[in-house]
Structure 1
Amino acid sequence: MLPNISTHQLINQNDNEWFTCADINSKQEIVCGTDQGIIYQTQLPSNGKNSTYKQLIGHTKLISDICYYDPNGCYILSCSADKDIRLWRSFSSNSITIYRSHLSPVWCLSVHYKSDRFASGSMDQTVRLWTPDRLNILRTFIYHSDDINTITFHPNGKYLASGSNDGSIILWAIEQAQPARILKSLSNIEQLTFTSDGNHLISISHNNNEQKSDRISIWDIRSANETNLIENIPSHRRLLKSCQIQNTNKFVTGFNKSFLFFDINNQQEKNDFFRSEFSNEYIQRLIHLSSNESNKLIAIVE
């Protein structure tokens, strides 16, 4: 049975600008980044009112990742191809803090609310650990030999997983800044998501060959075993980060106008998944997927 899906469409009046990433908080405020380095924040309309938006200006190149920093959605964290990471107050035009340490574009961010820390991954092949009240990094994690595309905190906050174009997934012991596990794949690691119990990682990898296919796998952190869940997914646009539907073993990801739903407990047959597409012809593609406490799936599209 599919969850109830709430769809929010972003419409950009600038034909020379396209959305690259987005997030939504519990107050139904959407923040999104563009390839021109502009961040837009909007409150979803209610009571017949028109939605308004705010521009958050500071980055000078493509916004590569963006998220609400705190559970209440009062702060926003963004990173960019301009090498900067910026912290913003919600609906404020200017950034509060600029974090500068990476030597190359910063591709990904992850936040651990309980420990008040965040991490960044970059083209410079490093993962860096930060806390918002310090401009200097807490730790630097070095092992990868290519761009880092994705990072995610373990639910307990003691570990951090990173995935790279070098085909490796590193599970880092944060306090020691050393690899606790090294998982090897045969293709670029694009997205990582921990299961809620922290025992498994969902990975999305991309084969950058002529067929340009994607694969979704589940890794057992304790044994380092990989099980392929879905293989040979043709995609002209790469899959979004997988999202766990609250309190279930079901996950969803997507690309273009398609959702892919899969159950990590049903691993007997490969390619056992359900695909659904938007029927609205005015929707161009998915930008972001998340799930709220009532198991409603939230889709942000353009």
Structure 2
Amino acid sequence: MEDAKRDINKTKRSKSDHVKNIVHSYLQKRNYASIGIQDNTKIDQQITYSLVENEISRPNSILYSCYNSDPVVIDHNFSKFLSWVKDLTKNKNICQDIEHLIAPLFCHLYLDILKGGHSERAATFFKAHLPAIDKTKCDDFVKDLINLFTNDCDATCMIEQFRGNKYFLELSPQTLALLKKFVVENCHVVFLHVLQTWFELQQVDEKENETDEKMEEKPESNGVCVDNRFQKIMEVIQDLEKEPKQIFQINISFTNETVTCGLIKRNCGLVAYNQDNIVHLRPIHPYDPIMGVSDCKEIRLTDHSKRVYSVAISPDHTRLVTASEDSTLCIYDLTEMRLIKNCSGHLGPIYCASISSNSVYAASGSHDTTARLWNTDTGQTLRTFVGHTQAVTCLDFHPNCLYLATGSADRNIRMWSVDNGGPLRLFHGSKGVVYSVTFSPLGDTLASVGDDKKVRLWDILGSKINNEIKYKGEPITKLVWSKNGKQLCTASIDGVLRIWDLPQCQDNSPDNKNQEPSMNLNINGKIVALEYSFETFACLTS
């Protein structure tokens, strides 16, 4: 009898070991760290936990490729780029401006290899390509940075400044077109990501360039000198530029109904808000038409049967989405002022909605604990993101449109792949309901606020908190970044608007937790929406 029991136990153990071996083999193939399997029902949770802890996403994602930058791929791509530039400038004298891109690109690629943990490969890359850098074609800052690298000096401060701003470069239309063609046809995605992340390439008209050169030469030829009065005026202008800019505020007046949500877009002169289940579109300036429609002072959208919780507009101002308590999402075409589709699928009220920066996708978060991805042209459901255990309260698209972040009443923030709907990151550490999440302009940081009265800045590669700022007063419900990512504007329930200077709080020291905002403004009324445009923050109040 005992022998039979031993045989049964041995059979069970052999089956268990077989399952463990299969799972272990699968995890190794997918680059996951090995984990102990205790219960088959917990396999999915453990895989997700392993993915987050080891900073691994799917192998072909941008984040994975950049974090694990392959030095061989970078070296090969930069060599091809140098050969292409040499041939281009040899045959076409009009493309000489591309040479100014070589030195800063060389520095960023070198730093990316170092960041990936390949110090020896980085040194080899630096020595191999340093002779190709023409220091007469780069500015003084980049020249000094290269000299520090060459002499093995401490360049921490200069690197922070170099990586804290985008490198601005103006190229002729033909040069920019040739560069885009070269990158698309010949370069790895890592090379493309470096250009998108660290460079601001703008097209300049050659005729305007010639005019500017003539205007610059004219004062010298006429012998005009700058007098003391003019110099004092310039100093006053510089002092004014250092002063904090005023908050642009628009108030919704002449109404007794509660405003549940809204948006403000000054670059298209539009405000939108909900009252009594109706979404109102109005121009910012009373005498302007809406979206260029003549003699049109207000548009009312009446396609929802219950109150609207969220309104979002696409960056190109062609799409508008509204999310409602009636469990539907409405997508509108603003060019033709028509409803594209009233989308159904959620099983509860929809609390938040957003549109991607390429205007292709819309996302919604619901009381049913799921988020959904929609096609803005057809209204078709593309993905359903399942993982939260309570209502999804906020969401935001990554600037590259490949990822979606969702915050929930379950106190967790999750990041998803737009491409396949899979989970990529889990940010846990909030002590209450998450009210708002938003990616920084560079896409390397995620800001969040919640019921625990803390502003958190998350490193999306490491799934960890870079900084945590504690504040006093009522909870913050809205967030918006400045264009350069150096300031964050927050709005709280009690109508207090704060602006935080982020370069002062790069680490998570106790001083940063008690940091004071650079501006603290009490707004008369409820803050319905925030935005940043024209180099200033703006708010819509009711």
Specify the TM-score bucket, using the shorter chain as the normaliser.
0.7 to 0.9
| Distance in 2 (alpha carbons) for counterparts of 1:123 and 1:295 | 36
| Distance in 2 (alpha carbons) for counterparts of 1:29 and 1:48 | 10
2:319 partner amino acid: Y
> 1:249 corresponds to which residue?
486
User: How far has the Cα of 1:278 moved from its partner?
Assistant: 4.1
Question: Out of 525, 534, 538, which is 1:284 matched to?
Answer: 525
Tell me the alpha carbon deviations over residues 171-217 of structure 1, each in whole angstroms, 9 at most, x when there is no partner: 1122231111111123211100111111111010114xxxxxx2111
> 2:413 corresponds to which residue?
169
1:121 partner amino acid: G
User: How far has the Cα of 1:138 moved from its partner?
Assistant: 0.5
1:181 is the counterpart of 2:419: no
2:532 partner amino acid: S
Change (3 A) 1:272 1:116: same
- Give secondary structure in 2 for the equivalent of 1:138: strand
**Is this contact kept in 1: 2:497–2:520, CA < 8 A?**
yes
Tell me the alpha carbon deviations over residues 72-126 of structure 1, each in whole angstroms, 9 at most, x when there is no partner: x243210001001002244988633111110111111111131611111111111
> 1:23 corresponds to which residue?
263
Question: Out of 239, 244, 251, which is 1:9 matched to?
Answer: 251
> 1:125 corresponds to which residue?
369
> 2:235 corresponds to which residue?
none
> 1:216 corresponds to which residue?
455
> 1:261 corresponds to which residue?
499
- Give secondary structure in 2 for the equivalent of 1:133: coil
Question: Out of 214, 225, 250, which is 2:464 matched to?
Answer: 225
1:147 partner amino acid: A
Aligned residues: 286
Tell me the alpha carbon deviations over residues 50-84 of structure 1, each in whole angstroms, 9 at most, x when there is no partner: 9932221111112110011342x243210001001
> 2:194 corresponds to which residue?
none
Tell me the alpha carbon deviations over residues 258-299 of structure 1, each in whole angstroms, 9 at most, x when there is no partner: 1111123322421313242247xxx3221111010x212111
| Distance in 2 (alpha carbons) for counterparts of 1:263 and 1:80 | 35
1:43-82 alignment runs, 5 A limit: 43-45=283-285, 52-71=297-316, 73-82=317-326
> 2:56 corresponds to which residue?
none
**What TM-score, normalized to structure 1?**
0.87
| Distance in 2 (alpha carbons) for counterparts of 1:101 and 1:218 | 33
Change (3 A) 1:62 1:48: closer
Identity level (%): 22
> 1:210 corresponds to which residue?
none
Question: Out of 431, 439, 455, which is 1:194 matched to?
Answer: 439
Whose helix fraction is larger, Structure 1's or Structure 2's?
2
Whose strand fraction is larger, Structure 1's or Structure 2's?
1
> 1:96 corresponds to which residue?
340
- Give secondary structure in 2 for the equivalent of 1:20: strand
**Is this contact kept in 1: 2:442–2:485, CA < 8 A?**
no
- Give secondary structure in 2 for the equivalent of 1:242: strand
| Distance in 2 (alpha carbons) for counterparts of 1:176 and 1:110 | 18
Q: Which 5+ residue runs of structure 2 have no aligned equivalent?
A: 1-242, 290-294
**Is this contact kept in 2: 1:128–1:141, CA < 8 A?**
yes
- Give secondary structure in 1 for the equivalent of 2:420: coil
Change (3 A) 1:106 1:205: same
| Distance in 1 (alpha carbons) for counterparts of 2:361 and 2:288 | 39
- Give secondary structure in 1 for the equivalent of 2:253: coil
**What TM-score, normalized to structure 2?**
0.50
| Distance in 1 (alpha carbons) for counterparts of 2:522 and 2:527 | 10
**Is this contact kept in 2: 1:168–1:183, CA < 8 A?**
yes
Q: Root-mean-square deviation (CA), in Å?
A: 2.4
Instruction: Answer 1 or 2: higher relative contact order, Cα 8 Å, separation at least 6.
Output: 1
User: How far has the Cα of 1:240 moved from its partner?
Assistant: 3.4
| Distance in 1 (alpha carbons) for counterparts of 2:422 and 2:406 | 12
